[in-house]
Amino acid sequence: MWTVSQLGADLASGKTSSRALLEEALARIADPAGEGARAFLKLYADTARAESELSDRLRAAGVRRSPVDGLPVSVKDLFDVCGDVTRAGSKILADAAPAPVDAPVVARLRAAGAVIVGRTNMVEFAFGPLGFNPHYGTPRNPWDRATGRVPGGSSSGAAVAQADGMCVMALGSDTRGSVRVPAALCGLAGFKPTARRVPREGAFPLSFTLDSIGPLTNSIACCAVYDAILAGEPPAPPVALPAKGLRLLLPRSSALEDLDPKVGADFEAALKRLSAAGAVLSEVPVPAFDRQDEYFKGGGFAGAESYAIHRARLERIDQFDPRVGKRILLFKDYSAGDYVELGLLRAAFMREVDALAAPYDAILMPTVPSVAPTLEEAGARDEDYFRWILRVMRNVGLINFLDGCAATLPCHAPGTAPVGLMVAGSALADRHVLAVAATIERVLARGG
């Protein structure tokens, strides 16, 4: 399992090289028995080789640009890469003009020495949490691949690429869970920052209000390093916190109800380990979490704003993923008054939840209330598809509406269906939330 700290040590000792890591990643992508052909929409093999060789030469001269220097990463298909077309998982943008410059987050990764392997598959226009893409195919979840399960979305290719060892970090976006859902369903760590911490220019939008950009990785420590780079901060691991005395809020609400038995059992087991390690868990009513139908009625901010974003393209609606097109059209009659009222509702929600969360280090809940459904049960009929969308987004979307930050980390036993534990906080509590998540990760690893 590739991590920043392990690979950094291996590079420093000469045990491996950036070029060797890249070739290993490319081999995994090319493996005909794997999911590389569906996980990636385009590879940058030639430029990646040049970048990895530069990293090796600089390292030999004593230059290390950051902790991620020379490590292979992938970027979701909605990020601008200079000279390339940003398709956002669609067919109708294939003839768009190439991006004139890198998106700021891509530029920051390059400046840190990251080696960009390629662009990962995604739900068209990032509008869906299950991972389906009828244009380019749907990458299979690494768990129970013989059956065929959804990878989660919209950062579907990102999660599969990361889980299958095709990169050290997969860059994704999160509007209502699009980093955390696939990370949880594929057994990864993932982080959704406070939206305004990481620049969103050069990322094809789903929602101007809710979009945020974050990493999918193999550990919370890796998330923390990449998050700092993306935010333009000094790259550093999370601050070490003791488990004893951590104040953790369990929101008594629908967020803790109607869980798959496997999710409920793994979540409870994680809470028991945390309590045994000295963390203080408090179950507190959070009635605001039970009013989700009001926050996302018809799609909420994402629905209204995506309609505005795509209005000029709707004459080509027959070329959209039919289910994506159907969701966008739901908002054609949304009024300005409704939009203003939604903003006021959000402000009240933020005040209410921030006040409840203030005495605690973090909010804990299952990232997704279910394990990954099969491709057949989630995609066979529209009614199943839309029912599963609402289920997997149920908990994660609350944190986007809060303008908060959240990490997800695995809490399942190895070899069993992946289950994610979400560690969340209010706006700009990012580094503290990552520190809490890293502590929880350590406790669960010892418990395992």
Spatial distance between the Cα atoms of 83 and 44, rounded to a whole number of angstroms: 12
Give the active site residue among 178, 212, 219, 426: 178
Helix (H) or strand (E) segment spanning residue 371: none
Nearest to 140 by CA among 122, 157, 115: 157
Instruction: State the distance between the two ends of the chain, measured CA to CA, in whole angstroms.
Output: 17
Q: Check residue 287 and report its DSSP letter.
A: G
Spatial distance between the Cα atoms of 143 and 61, rounded to a whole number of angstroms: 42
The answer to whether 389 touches 128, Cβ cutoff 8 Å, is yes
Residues in the chain: 448
Amino acid letter at 217?
T
3-state secondary structure of 281: strand
Strand order in 405-410's β-sheet?
Answer: 40-43, 115-120, 72-76, 169-174, 212-217, 189-192, 405-410, 420-425, 362-366, 247-252, 280-285
Residues 6+ apart with CB under 8 A from 333: none
E strand map for 96-188 = 115-120, 169-174
Give the active site residue among 18, 52, 76, 253: 76
Q: Check residue 188 and report its DSSP letter.
A: -
Q: Indicate if 244 belongs to the active site.
A: no
Q: Indicate if 178 belongs to the active site.
A: yes
Q: Indicate if 306 belongs to the active site.
A: no
Chain-centroid distance, C-alpha 336: 31
Q: At what angle do helices 322-329 and 382-393 cross, to 10 degrees?
A: 70
Give the active site residue among 55, 154, 306, 370: 154
Q: Which residues are catalytic?
A: 76, 154, 178
